[in-house]
Structure 1
Amino acid sequence: MTFSVPLDQRLAFVRANTALAAVPFVPELSIFTATEVTPLWQATGEWLGARGLDVPFWSVPWAGGQGLARWVLDHPEAVRGKRVLDFGSGSGLVAIAAVRAGASTVRAVDVDPLAEAACRLNAEANRVAFEAACTDVVGTSLEGIDVLLAGDVWYERAASERFAAWLSNVVASGVRVVTGDPARLYVPRNVHELARYDVPTPLELESAPTRMTRILELMQASNESTTASR
């Protein structure tokens, strides 16, 4: 996948519009964060739109990602010595946690080219190393992956249906899939709950100071479906 914005410009944009800050629910890790989310999104809309880039979801630690990163650090045996893919990585928070927990290799992927830049900067800031790529892996077979981690990815119906169908096949292939879900509408039904946390969230994002976030393992099922029951 190619982009019109060179990596050095994307790196400069992330640095200029965020500040390195500890993650509220995972304070041992820090990421480049937009301290005033709404002004950033409004002020950068023209810059992003002119370059074909998306809303900067990578600029804040979403509840699902925070919860999943916390779970990985608290349960390092889930990834220790394993090959990990951080899917829909955003800032790379979950990838950083996986490296810290002892994963043998970690790859972070996101379709937003600014997320790739944020991952690179956040990896450096946390003194870890992992591969970051801007690519769409949905629908592909995952060779050389033992565990797929997906933070906060279940908030849009069409995308969630696409993810769920693919991840059902991924689970069937023997890859463990674990996701963080702060009660999004379109999380798959065929899941096993591993943990739940009350995760701090910015009011301007979630209209609440915390979100109850479940850590879920996707299970193999013959008919994949999503739910809007909550």
Structure 2
Amino acid sequence: MSTLATGVLNAWEGLNARLRGAGEVLPRFVLRLVMGWEFWESGLEKLHGENWFADIQAKFPWPFNVIPADLSWSVATWFEIAGGLALWLGFGTRFFAFSLLFLTFVATAAVHWPDMWTMWSDLLKGYAITDAGHGNFKLPLLFVVMLLPLIFNGPGKLSVDYVIARLVGATTYPAATNDFYTWAIAAAVVGLPFLMLTPLSGAALLALAAVLALIGRYLRH
């Protein structure tokens, strides 16, 4: 390899290494700031606003359609406020990100999902900010896309979670493991919220998670 090619390759690898270094801090910090604000703002609006959950009680997925509307309103309000604050701080990030993901799926089912669709083309009409009679799940879908990296990758180095891990001597960034248990967990993380939106899809993902976990257990023995 020529000296020029070697220099270009070294420069490229150095650039990638530094981008990865910044990537351990900046992208997830920005995600936390944005998502923290969105849920914090939504929670404050509920805290100071009128409870309208009773008006759509029948649209909530089970078991939220049988839980008193006042209780559901309070749970949603305080999870959004506490979750928004936790995301800002990077504290309990995976727990709160998953809780808010679950909450987003419940809200999508009750408010943003189309009442009826028979084909994918019908469903795609709901990929919008404003409801034109076909639902408007574009914004909650974007929330899901931004919460998933926080669930799977954690809050990044600029977080309380990272500081706590360092203080207790835990491995802050353990080596990635790619086995059947990995994908069982991934299927469960996605499947549980999907139970609220499309129960058959959620159940299928949870069944897949169970099968993958059993295969992983079998291969370990």
* Same fold at TM > 0.5: no
TM-score normalised to structure 1 length: 0.25
Name the one with the larger helix percent: 2
TM-score normalised to structure 2 length: 0.25
